[in-house]
């Protein structure tokens, strides 16, 4: 019996969301009186032994370069086989792009109950009950999982990374390379930007910015803060910004520590993707804009006056000329 945690990575780097699930899985293992182990498919540049500081005892690594790219069917089989062979009773994923693709396949193979979108450690005082977000973050549901093996996909940014001391043992995992069922013909990687789903700070713009030519100040505020940029759906639909920046019900759901919304009205479909942000700052010239009801801080004013002043203030604070 143990907790097995999927360690997701991209371009040789372990994702921040993986550190969250490692911390979560280790805390869950302690709660269950068992140990936590990680599984990494592919290769990364960092020393996997250092992942022990997040509370795991062992990392199973199938160090085949062919496993670096996501192939949910191949990876799902490897993880399910490992979980079954090692006697894992809980398998934990991040509910990110990879986790959403792999976790259900692992659950089916293990005949396990799956909770996707978990936001807290399970309550194991009477059974195994997991809290998750429902209705686009408008409510919570408590899901009792009764199957012997459980699969959890934890929402990114809902569990704090906990670092301690410790070194993990590396256990090479030999896998028979399965023939891939899908073949990636090409991939375009957004480079030089903070990935939106991993970002702690996000600066987002809406139709109030009038046109793509006015995004310079959004990007400058974001780069000064070290933030990712996002946008509302009409902005992406009009091709003012790339679609991967679109947040909301039909876009990406994010939960950064700080979300700054500039010229966005705060429609319910937009809020569905950002209302798990820890602090929301809204800049809108209309004091009746619905977004102010969801805001922790609101500035009623013209974005074209407010944002340059914010950039100056942040630069001054950071000592940037």
Ligand X SMILES: Cc1cc2nc3c(=O)[nH]c(=O)nc-3n(C[C@H](O)[C@H](O)[C@H](O)COP(=O)(O)OP(=O)(O)OC[C@H]3O[C@@H](n4cnc5c(N)ncnc54)[C@H](O)[C@@H]3O)c2cc1C
What residue ranges bind ligand X (CB under 6 A)? 206-208, 232-235, 248-251, 263-265, 267, 269-270, 273, 283-286, 289, 302-304
143 or 303: CB nearest ligand X: 303
Q: List residues bridging with 148 in a β-sheet.
A: none
151 or 253: CB nearest ligand X: 253
44 or 272: CB nearest ligand X: 272
CB count in 10 Å sphere of residue 292: 18
Q: Which two tokens stand for residue 22?
A: 């490692």
102 or 222: CB nearest ligand X: 222
Least Å from the CB of residue 116 to ligand X: 19
Least Å from the CB of residue 198 to ligand X: 19
The answer to whether 256 and 278 have CB atoms below 8 angstroms apart is yes
Please give the backbone phi and psi of residue 213, each rounded to the nearest 5 degrees, phi first: -65, -15
151 or 303: CB nearest ligand X: 303
The answer to whether 228 and 194 have CB atoms below 8 angstroms apart is yes
Least Å from the CB of residue 219 to ligand X: 17
Least Å from the CB of residue 242 to ligand X: 14
168 or 281: CB nearest ligand X: 281
Least Å from the CB of residue 132 to ligand X: 20
Those residues whose C-beta lies under 8 Å from the C-beta of residue 163, and which sit 6 or more positions away, are 23, 53, 54
Least Å from the CB of residue 305 to ligand X: 8
């Amino acid at each position: 019996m143990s907790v097995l945690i999927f360690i997701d990575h991209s371009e040789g780097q372990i994702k921040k969301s993986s550190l969250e699930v490692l911390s979560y899985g280790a805390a869950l293992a302690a709660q269950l009186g068992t140990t936590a182990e990680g599984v990494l498919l592919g290769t990364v540049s960092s020393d996997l032994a250092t992942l022990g500081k997040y509370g795991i005892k062992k990392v199973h690594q199938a160090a085949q370069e062919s496993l670096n790219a996501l192939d949910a069917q191949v990876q799902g089989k490897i993880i399910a086989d490992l979980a079954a062979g090692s006697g894992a009773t809980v398998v934990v994923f991040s509910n990110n792009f990879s986790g959403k693709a792999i976790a259900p396949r692992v659950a089916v193979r293990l005949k396990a109950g799956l909770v996707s979108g978990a936001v807290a450690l399970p309550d194991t005082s009477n059974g195994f009950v997991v809290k998750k977000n429902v209705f686009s973050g408008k409510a919570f549901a408590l899901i009792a999982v009764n199957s012997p093996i459980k699969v959890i996909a934890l929402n990114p940014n809902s569990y704090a990374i906990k670092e301690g001391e410790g070194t993990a043992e590396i256990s090479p995992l030999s896998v028979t390379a399965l023939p891939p069922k899908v073949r990636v013909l090409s991939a375009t990687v957004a480079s030089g930007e903070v990935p939106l789903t991993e970002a702690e700070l996000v600066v987002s713009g809406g139709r109030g910015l009038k046109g793509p030519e006015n995004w310079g100040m959004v990007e400058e505020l974001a780069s000064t803060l070290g933030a990712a940029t996002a946008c509302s759906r009409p902005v992406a639909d009009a091709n003012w910004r790339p679609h991967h920046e679109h947040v909301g019900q039909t876009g990406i759901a994010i939960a950064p520590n700080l979300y700054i919304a500039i010229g966005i009205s705060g429609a319910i479909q937009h809020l569905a993707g950002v209302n798990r942000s820890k602090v929301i700052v809204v800049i809108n010239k209309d004091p009746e804009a619905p977004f102010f009801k969801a805001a922790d801080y609101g500035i009623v004013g013209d974005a074209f006056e407010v944002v340059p002043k914010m950039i100056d203030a942040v630069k001054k604070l950071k000592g940037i000329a």
